[in-house]
Amino acid sequence: MTSNGQQENLRSIPSVDAVLRDARIGALAGELSLATVTNLVREATDGARLAVLSGSSSPGTEELISHVLERAQRATANWPRRVINATGVVLHTNLGRAPMSAAAIEAAGLAAAGYSDLEFDLDSGKRGSRNSRISQVIADVTGAEAGIAVNNNASAVLLALSAIAEGEEVIVSRGEAVEIGGGFRIPDVMRRSGATLVEVGTTNRTYARDYGAAVTANTAAILKVHPSNFSVQGFTHEPELAELVAVGREHDIPVLNDLGSGSLIDTRRFGLQREPTVQDSVTDGAAITMFSGDKLLGGPQAGIICGNRELVDRISKHPLARAVRLDKMALAALTATLLSYLKDTAEADIPIWRMISAPDDEIGKRAARWREAAGTGEVKSERSTVGGGSLPGETLPTSVLAISGGARSESLAAKLRSAEPPVIARIREDELLLDPRTVLPEEDELVISALKAMTADDGSDT
């Protein structure tokens, strides 16, 4: 039951029609349909009523109109929105992982802008295969016989298992029956594929002989899973891929290798631990190798399957393949990304490799320039991380602009996020840290502009 005061406040809330008659709301009709504007106004007035019933005061007409205008602005904004990643995490999952190369962006735009030969053979003038071109590029880059691309690596694993092992057994080390991220658990994927999981070894130690002892007449494959986002230390053992391939050949069963992030470049060149490369997997004899497109490859979200032509053909013809296939824009971007590796220009073309290979002294100079231009903070030595479920625990030396904000650190970070484009920093022990490693040099002026605006709004030298 409402009180007299609440009833009076409820009566003071303007009607939907009254708000719609305001000229500013009427102007929204040029951007949004009348029905949409009406719904936004009704949402605002309904919210006002709920606020009054919960004990708050009634918002005035101006407040309601401001709410509607702000809501309309959000409704018409593009999404996902571009941000600048100054966190120092190269493959930041929350920020969309790998930024694509200029060539990949251009290729995706051209594919989207008009018609294309996606499933058309220009030579014969007849229907072509969506997979033929990407299969050849994957093969050229990895050394495999053939390939196929789907919408992510989880799909790649599910599709491969469904096509090769449905109704049969797949042998996996107990230490590799893991959850990689986002609820992606190998045992769950195995069940969804229709295959039966056969675990061998122990959590920390598994040998090639364990796989051989588990082979039965129902064994369809051996699955090796690279634990991309964690590592087990100490008393451990796992067989090399070549050892598993030898077991597979002895029993005439294929070895499937899930690399997770998947790299085409030797990460040891940058002072990082060795990440198994796709080329090594192919050379060592994996019948099928699976890896991501938007992690260490540095391209669009994709799952890539490469290996034995007969098995790749079987996978590509499975009914699930159509459900998880890539669209024309992702295929165009992925092709352009792979071509950078084929041309040996990946480190210059692909943003994540530009970031990973950036010298610390150059990063320090950029951080100092940010400090000088913005007039705030100090340059400190820090560590950047690769992130994105790749190279767990591995870091790179870097230099950051550290701004001591104390209790104001959260509000300072929020001011950077309100810039255009938003700048995302990280907070540690009441310090705001901005790492140039994950900011492309061509974005420096945008960061400096955001820092200047943050300092001006703060009203003090931080």
How many residues are given for the chain? 462
Phi/psi for 314 (5° steps) reads: -65, -40
Whose structure tokens read 């030898």? 246
pLDDT at 456: 85
345-363 confidence digits (pLDDT tens):
999 999 999 999 999 999 9
CA 192 remoteness from chain centre = 24
Indicate the helix (H) or strand (E) that contains 212: helix 208-214
Predicted TM-score (pTM) of this structure: 0.89
Phi/psi for 234 (5° steps) reads: 100, -130
Spans of the chain below 70 pLDDT: 1-2, 4, 178-184, 228-235, 458-462
pLDDT at 461: 47
Cα→Cα distances 25→3, 17, 20, 59, 71, Å:
32, 11, 6, 17, 11
Cα→Cα distances 106→109, 113, 119, 281, 405, Å:
5, 10, 20, 31, 40
Q: 295 with 89: CB under 8 angstroms?
A: no
What are the chain's domains?
A: 4-75 (no CATH), 84-92+352-458 (3.90.1150.180), 101-348 (3.40.640.10)
Q: 136 with 306: CB under 8 angstroms?
A: no
Q: 376 with 453: CB under 8 angstroms?
A: no
pLDDT at 462: 45
Angle subtended at Cα 214 by Cα 211 and Cα 219, rounded to the nearest 5 degrees: 100
pLDDT at 229: 55
117-170 confidence digits (pLDDT tens):
999 999 999 999 999 999 999 999 999 999 999 999 999 999 999 999 999 999
pLDDT at 405: 82
Looking at residue 111, its amino acid is A
221-235 confidence digits (pLDDT tens):
999 998 765 566 666
364-407 confidence digits (pLDDT tens):
999 999 999 989 899 999 999 998 777 777 899 999 999 998 88
pLDDT at 240: 93
Is the alpha carbon torsion for 149, 150, 156, 162 positive or negative?
Answer: negative
pLDDT at 290: 97
- Burial class, 381, CB count within 10 angstroms (exposed 0-12 / middle 13-18 / buried 19+): exposed
pLDDT at 189: 84
CA 122 remoteness from chain centre = 34
